[in-house]
Amino acid sequence: MARMQIIVDRDLERLAKGLNVSSSKVRTSVSRALNRAASQARTGVDKGVRERIGVKKRDVFKNVTVRRASTRRLESIVKIRGRAIPLGAFKARQTKRGATAKINKTGGRTLYRGTFTATMRSGHLGVYKRIGKTRLPLKELYGPSIPTVVEQEPDLAVKVEHDAAVNLERALTAQMELMLKKTGRA
C-alpha cells in the first residue's frame, strides 16, 4: 500500500495573532487547503496511472482514497491500495491461440496462451485458464494492482508529491486571502 501524508500544524496560533484573526478561522482555512491539495493529489495519481496502463477511471478511484482533514486534525492522507485488476478490465480479446490483453498503454497486446475469455453470470468479463485436463476448476488471470504501478514508476510518485506541495501552497494562499477578505482585513 502506498501512502502520501500532508500535515500542517506548526505556528498556527502565531499566524492567527499576526493576521489578527481567530485561530479557528485559520484552522478552517488550512483544513480546506489540505483537502483541496489531497483531492488534487488523488486526481494526479489517477492521471498518472491511466497514462501508463489501460484501466478505467473508476477502477483507479476505487483504489485511491482520501482521508480528509478537519479543523481538529490538520492532516490529509491519500491511500493507494487495492488488489490486482482482472485481465478482463484491460480490453481482453479471444483469439485462436488464447486471450490477449493490452495492459500497457505504450506497448502492444500480450498473448496469454491456452487461456480464454468468459463472461460470468454477474456480467464480469475475465480471462481464465483451466487447471488440469477437466473443465473445472478455472483460474482467473490478473494484471497489476494500482499500488504496484505507482511503486514501479518512481517518477510518478515524485511528480504527484511535488504537485501536491505546489497545490497546497496555492490553496493555502487562496484560502488565507479569502479568509482575510471575509473578515474585512484585506
77 and 121 assigned to the same domain: no
pLDDT in tens, 34-80: 999 999 999 999 999 999 999 999 989 999 999 999 989 888 999 99
Q: Residue 22 has what pLDDT?
A: 72
What's the mean pLDDT in 177-184? 84
Structural domain count of the chain: 2
49 and 20 assigned to the same domain: yes
Q: What is the band of 96 on the pLDDT scale with cuts at 50, 70, 90?
A: very high
124 and 52 assigned to the same domain: no
27 and 113 assigned to the same domain: no
102 and 55 assigned to the same domain: no
Domain boundary among 108, 123, 140: 140
Domain boundary among 124, 140, 156: 140
Closest CA to 128 of 110, 97, 119: 119
78 and 113 assigned to the same domain: no
pLDDT in tens, 120-160: 999 999 999 999 999 999 999 999 999 999 988 889 989 99
The residue range of the domain holding 75 is 2-83+146-183
77 and 151 assigned to the same domain: yes
Q: Residue 17 has what pLDDT?
A: 64
20 and 78 assigned to the same domain: yes
- Percent of the chain scored above 70 by pLDDT? 89
Q: 10, exposed or middle or buried, with CB in 10 Å at 0-12, 13-18, 19+?
A: exposed
pTM exceeds 0.85, yes or no: no
